Amino acid sequence: MDIDKGDLTRGSIFGKLIHMAIPIMGSQLLQMSYGLVNMVWLGRIGADAVASSGSGSMYVWLSVGLMMLGNMGATIGVSQNFGRGELAEALRYAQNAVWVSVLAGVAYGLLLILGHGPLVDFFNITDMTVARDAKIYVAIIGIGIPFSYVSGSITSIFNGVGNSRASFLMSSVGLILNMILDPVMIYLLGWGVIGAAIATVTSQTVTMGVSLYFIFMKKGRPFTHFSLILKPSPVHLRQILAWSIPVALENTFMPFLAMFTSRFEASFGPDAMAAGRIGSQVESITWMVGGGYMQAVGSFVGQNYGAFKWARLHNGFYVQILSMILYGSCVSALMFLFGRYIFMLFIPGSETVIKYGAAYLTIMAFCQPPACVEGVAGGNFRGMGRTLPPSITSLSFNTLRVILAYVFMNSGLGLYGVWIGVCTASSLRGLALLIWFLIARRKLPAEDLAGAGC
């Protein structure tokens, strides 16, 4: 690999961030586009199909938590050691992180396959058809979980060395294939929700194959001697888990807590569930792009933190925060002004879903800038190897989200109260993490010891 090309410790801060972030955000946008296309095709079948896949997809979201066990260890371990020029140590973290992903993926996949019935019964879905399809969806999705975990850890390795373009190429193959297979299996073959699940697993399998080719064989790969035939290193595994467990808990409990708000939505019927499901997909234009930017920030901070480039870290923060506040404000305006028209693209014949959906986007428009701010602060913390502050903030305010949603729902606001509670807690979460990081960054040296900066 061309080390200079992936070196984020030199050159224009904004240029390096954009060069790193655009492929990651492109991958996230493809993921969002896939989710939206999926909703469009399922929406053509009806609100029940959207509700079934939406219930099952909560466990796909839940899987992101365990996926972080390998991904976060790969990103931090590889980026910090790459920034210091310790490539052999970066390789050790990369190899051990992939093994963590393999074990976690197999465990969670078996949980979905064997426990799909009780897992879906948690939602207390009253419509038997919706419940049946959701159970089949969860069981099928479980097959592809190990494949997605391996792919995720490999893309994190490439991001850690600053090669986000390769990560984008790996991810885009599967996502584009999924977008092609969805209409064929959902609509043309008439397989509905089951077809959506089969399309997803097929795409995950292909993506893993491409990822393995990139890490083992492709010219310009980060490590020429990468191998999974090794004795796991207890030292590296302990450090990977120390970094990753807070993030894994955060990403596990977030969807788990969100399941309670989904239950609140379900109490208002399938139309309300469909509106929440589609609305969250539209809203993902913020948290997927913001999450992609956060990954770029994490790699940027990791390399510069490892290289002791303090001035570059400080200046990078200002670039990051200004750009993401601007982006979040633009998304807010889009959701606030055009919410109804956006929903008409998905279920044009359901006036109730459109009404609910327009209200959802209007309410959630207010928490988009704070969500972007949270991504910047979280990316900085994690790049420094401090994964606990973002996780504590997330767990605390996502718990508050359930409490506020319940209180507002029962205060006479009904379904809209659920979403107002979610929006309020999300906004407070972003602002709290930003304040925490502003306090923490004051402890960093102001200038590089050798005078090297940006």
432 domain-assigned: yes
Residue 167 has pLDDT above 50, yes or no: yes
Residue 275 has pLDDT above 60, yes or no: yes
Q: What is the pLDDT of residue 332?
A: 92
316 domain-assigned: yes
Q: What is the pLDDT of residue 453?
A: 41
In which band, very low, low, confident or very high, does the pLDDT at 21 lie, cut at 50, 70 and 90? confident
447 domain-assigned: no
pLDDT in tens, 430-452: 999 999 999 998 888 877 654 44
Burial class (CB in 10 A: 0-12, 13-18, 19+), 343: buried
DSSP 286-300: HHHHHHHHHHHHHHH
Residue type at position 21: A
Residue 26 has pLDDT above 80, yes or no: no
Distance, CA of 97 to CA of 242 (rounded, Å): 12
323 domain-assigned: yes
Cα angle 360, 363, 366 (rounded to 5 degrees) comes to 135
Least confident of 38-47, 54-63, 317-326: 38-47
- What share of the chain has pLDDT > 90, as a percent? 31
453 domain-assigned: no
Please state the domain count of the chain.
Answer: 1
In which band, very low, low, confident or very high, does the pLDDT at 224 lie, cut at 50, 70 and 90? confident
113 domain-assigned: yes
- What share of the chain has pLDDT > 70, as a percent? 91
What share of residues in the chain are helix, strand, coil (percent, to 5)?
Answer: 85, 0, 15
The CA–CA distances, whole Å, from 371 to 185, 287, 291, 453 equal: 35, 7, 10, 29
Number of Cβ within a 10 Å radius of residue 449: 8
Q: What is the pLDDT of residue 419?
A: 92
Least confident of 80-89, 336-345, 394-403: 336-345
In which band, very low, low, confident or very high, does the pLDDT at 409 lie, cut at 50, 70 and 90? very high
Q: What is the pLDDT of residue 119?
A: 84
Per the structure, the complete domain to which residue 269 belongs is given by: 3-441
* Segment 314-330 mean pLDDT: 90
